[in-house]
Amino acid sequence: MKKALLLIFVSITMISLQAQDKKAYQLYTAEGVPASYSEMLKNSKMADIVFFGELHNNPIAHWLQLELTKDLYENKKENLILSAEMFESDNQLILDEYLNGTIPKSRFEAECRLWPNYSTDYKPLVEFAKDNDLHFIAANVPRRYANIVSKKGFEILDSLSLEAKSLIPPLPIEYDPTVACYKAMLEMKGMPARMSENLPKAQALKDATMAHFINKHFQTGKQIIHYDGAYHSNNHEGTVWYMNQYFPKLNIQVISTVSQEDIYNLDEENKGLGDYILVVPENMTKTY
């Protein structure tokens, strides 16, 4: 009886403390077990590639990306490589020129087609790379090519120039419509059949391109941390699926970000999204 009362008291106390703490985030394992940052960091250090899937407008995800990057750098130093969905492959040259000091910040920011939330969310990562002489991969496909694939399918890519083809993976693009993330897009209702068929192909082109350029830069002894929208790496699908076609034996760790009303228990549908799931409150302020 005393033991039961003690458990009830502890439970009430924990609920009370949670209400008072107002935590900004909680980490979980894939199975939904609460995890610490130090545990996630320990396992991240052992990975060949870390995919940090974000919610693009979530400040907690962006802050933790930067903190994790700093801590991985302390472990890997010059052997750490940064990579991001937010920079397209045709901007690799200008990104390199800024990082190596060839061009000033003003020209880089004026000419690199930066995302609207660059200054708050991605600039700290770029500046960290610059300060520490780290390579940064402009991994994503130029959006104009994803756009034409969404309208005309993969076949349109055959008509690109050799220079344009250097900005995407070798053709033909491997594509499996049964992969769950693409299958879900195929089954979306309310779209014309042709658009429904090609939309997941455009997504697959983005995923394949990011995997292609990550693969080009991966070497034994190096570590890559890649930042993307969580939908590109959730469930080890998307870009991770393509990476596994290149290197099926790589140690890949996926971190996925979700928002929930209650961050003290992982919702069932969010289990398994990543090796670690970063849960932030639904009412968290947004960067845009």
Name the least confident of 1-5, 58-62, 207-211.
Answer: 1-5
Contact (Cβ atoms closer than 8 angstroms) between residue 106 and residue 51:
no
Tell me which DSSP letter residue 135 carries: -
- pLDDT > 90: percent of the chain: 87
CATH number, domain containing residue 117: 3.40.50.11550
Does residue 178 have a pLDDT over 90?
yes
Q: How far is CA 271 from each of CA 50, 181, 227, 243, 255, rounded to the nearest angstrom?
A: 18, 16, 20, 22, 12
Type of residue found at 106: S
Dist. CA 134–CA 129, nearest whole Å: 5
- Enumerate the β-bridge partners of residue 256: 53, 277
Q: How far is CA 218 from each of CA 82, 134, 189, 213, 224, rounded to the nearest angstrom?
A: 11, 14, 39, 9, 7
13 lies in some domain? no
What confidence score (pLDDT) does residue 11 get? 47
Q: Burial, 285: exposed, middle or buried (Cβ in 10 Å; 0-12, 13-18, 19+)?
A: exposed
Q: What is the pLDDT of residues 42-51, one digit of tens each?
A: 999 999 999 9
16 lies in some domain? no
Q: Average pLDDT over the chain, rounded to whole?
A: 93
Backbone φ and ψ for 189, nearest 5 degrees, come out as -95, 155
Q: How many CB atoms sit inside 10 A of residue 10's CB?
A: 10
32 lies in some domain? yes
Q: Considering only CA atoms, which of 160, 166, 234 is closest in space to residue 203?
A: 234
What confidence score (pLDDT) does residue 130 get? 98
What confidence score (pLDDT) does residue 239 get? 98
Provide the residue range defining the domain that includes 91: 24-281
What confidence score (pLDDT) does residue 6 get? 45
Residue 21 — very low, low, confident or very high, per pLDDT cuts 50/70/90? confident
What confidence score (pLDDT) does residue 195 get? 60
Structure tokens at 222: 């190096």
Does residue 286 have a pLDDT over 70?
yes
- The structural domain count of the chain equals 1
What confidence score (pLDDT) does residue 8 get? 47
145 lies in some domain? yes
Q: What is the pLDDT of residues 224-277, one digit of tens each?
A: 999 999 999 999 999 999 999 988 889 999 999 999 999 999 999 999 999 999
220 lies in some domain? yes
Structure tokens at 263: 């961050």
Dist. CA 40–CA 51, nearest whole Å: 12
Q: Would residue 160 be called left, alpha or beta, if left means φ above 0 and alpha means ψ between -120 and 50 degrees? A: beta
Give mean pLDDT, residues 177-187: 93
14 lies in some domain? no
What confidence score (pLDDT) does residue 22 get? 86
2 lies in some domain? no
Does residue 16 have a pLDDT over 60?
no
Type of residue found at 25: Y
Across the chain, where does the E strand assignment appear? 26-29, 34-35, 49-54, 80-88, 136-140, 223-229, 252-260, 276-281
What confidence score (pLDDT) does residue 20 get? 63
123 lies in some domain? yes
Does residue 12 have a pLDDT over 90?
no
Name the least confident of 5-9, 162-166, 225-229.
Answer: 5-9
Q: Considering only CA atoms, which of 82, 173, 212 is closest in space to residue 134?
A: 82
Give mean pLDDT, residues 173-200: 84
Q: What is the pLDDT of residues 93-152, one digit of tens each?
A: 999 999 999 999 999 999 999 999 999 999 999 999 999 999 999 999 999 999 999 999
Residue 187 — very low, low, confident or very high, per pLDDT cuts 50/70/90? confident
